[in-house]
């Protein structure tokens, strides 16, 4: 499945764009799901002493799936293609790597 196909299929389970505050709902959903991943890793550090063999990969995969869903639907709401976003991002980070500025800071390096 390519990213645009995923995006089209995710939209089958999304609320209508016309729903009041749907854009805000999608942004907060993306942030919330990302926060759930951070929370799981916080507990992994606290309770599992950062032992990578004890990461619950199945649980993390579910949360990453939720992030992907919100990302896909939010991108569509903004009339953006997930494939285009992924392609542009890889172009950007490849350019940064080639120029030796992956480890720098700021959007315009």
pLDDT band at 106 (very low <50, low <70, confident <90, very high): confident
What SS3 state is found at 2?
coil
**Chain segment 39-79, per-residue pLDDT in tens:** 999 999 999 999 999 999 999 999 999 999 999 999 999 99
pTM for the whole structure? 0.91
Tell me the per-residue pLDDT of 44-55, one tens digit each, with 9 for 90 and over: 999 999 999 999
* Band of residue 105 on the pLDDT scale cut at 50, 70, 90: confident
Q: Residue 15: in which H helix or E strand, if any?
A: none
Q: For position 16, what pLDDT does the model report?
A: 96
Alpha helices of 2-105 — where are they, by DSSP H?
Answer: 3-11, 22-48, 57-77, 82-98
Q: Which fold has domain 3-82?
A: Helix Hairpins (1.10.287)
Q: Where are the domains of the chain?
A: 3-82
Q: Burial, 72: exposed, middle or buried (Cβ in 10 Å; 0-12, 13-18, 19+)?
A: buried
C-alpha distances out from residue 101 to 53, 87, 93, Å: 31, 19, 9
């Amino acid at each position: 499945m390519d990213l645009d196909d995923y995006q089209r299929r995710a939209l089958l389970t999304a609320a209508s764009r016309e729903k009041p505050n749907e854009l805000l709902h999608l942004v907060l959903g993306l942030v919330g799901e990302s926060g759930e991943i951070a929370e799981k890793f916080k507990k992994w550090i606290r309770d599992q002493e950062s032992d990578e063999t004890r990461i619950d990969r199945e649980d993390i995969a579910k949360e990453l799936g939720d992030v992907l869903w919100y990302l896909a639907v939010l991108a569509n709401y903004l009339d953006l293609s997930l494939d285009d976003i992924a392609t542009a991002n890889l172009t950007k980070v490849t350019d940064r790597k080639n120029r030796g500025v992956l480890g720098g800071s700021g959007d315009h390096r």
